[in-house]
Amino acid sequence: MGEQRKGLVERLFAEHRRALQTFFYRRIRTKSDAPDLAQEVYVRMLRVNDIDAIRNPEHYLYTVASNLVKEYAVLDRWQARGVDLDEASIQQRLGELPTLDGQLDVTQRVARLRTVLAQLSPKCRAAVILQYRHGLSYQEIGERLNVSPHMVKKYLAQGLAHCRRRMARME
C-alpha cells in the first residue's frame, strides 16, 4: 500500500512539478519560494493515508497546492503586520540570524546569507544591506532608493521575513 501511494505521488510530481511551480510563481509574492512550496505539496501528498479515496489525483494535487497558497498568504500577512520595526528590541532581534548548526563555520553562513539575499528584489536587498551593514536610517535609505521611509520599512519587513524563512530552511 505504501509503495502504491509513493509511486502515484512520484508520478504526479514528475508530471506536474513545473506546472505546480508556475502555479505558485503566479500566486505568491516571494517567487523564489515556489520550488519549496511545490516540494511541500509532494510531502503532503505522501502523508495521505487512503490514496484510493482520491477520485481525481491531479485535481487533489492542485487542491493541496491551492490550500498551501492560502496558508502561505496568511503567514506572509501575519509576518508583515506583526513586525514593528521601530521598537529597539525588535531591531536587535531582527539583526540576528537564526541559530544554525554549530558545526557550520562562518564562511558557510555568509555564503548562505548571500544566496538568500540574492533572492530578494534589488530595492529590498539594498534596503536590508543599507540598514544592517551600513547603519543608515529609514530616511537615508529612502533618499538613496528614491522611496519613502514608509516604503523602506516595508522593504525591510519583507526582506527580513524572507531571510529568516530561508535561513531557517537551510539548517
99-134: per-residue pLDDT in tens?
A: 444 434 556 777 788 888 888 888 888 898 888 788
Query: Who has greater pLDDT, 6 or 153?
Result: 153
The residue that leads in pLDDT, 59 or 169, is 59
**In the chain, which ranges are continuous DSSP H helix?**
2-25, 34-46, 57-81, 88-94, 106-118, 122-132, 138-145, 149-169
Q: Whole-number mean pLDDT of the chain?
A: 77
C-alpha angle 126-131-137 in degrees, rounded to nearest 5? 115
Hey, what's the cell of 79? Answer: 509576518
Residue with cell 532581534: 93
| Residues 65-75, mean pLDDT to the nearest whole number | 81
Question: Which tens digit of pLDDT belongs to each residue from 2-22?
Answer: 677 678 888 888 888 888 888
Nearest C-alpha neighbor of 85 from the set 31, 146, 32, 141: 141
Percent of the chain, pLDDT > 90? 1
What sign results for the dihedral spanned by CA atoms 13, 14, 15, 19? positive
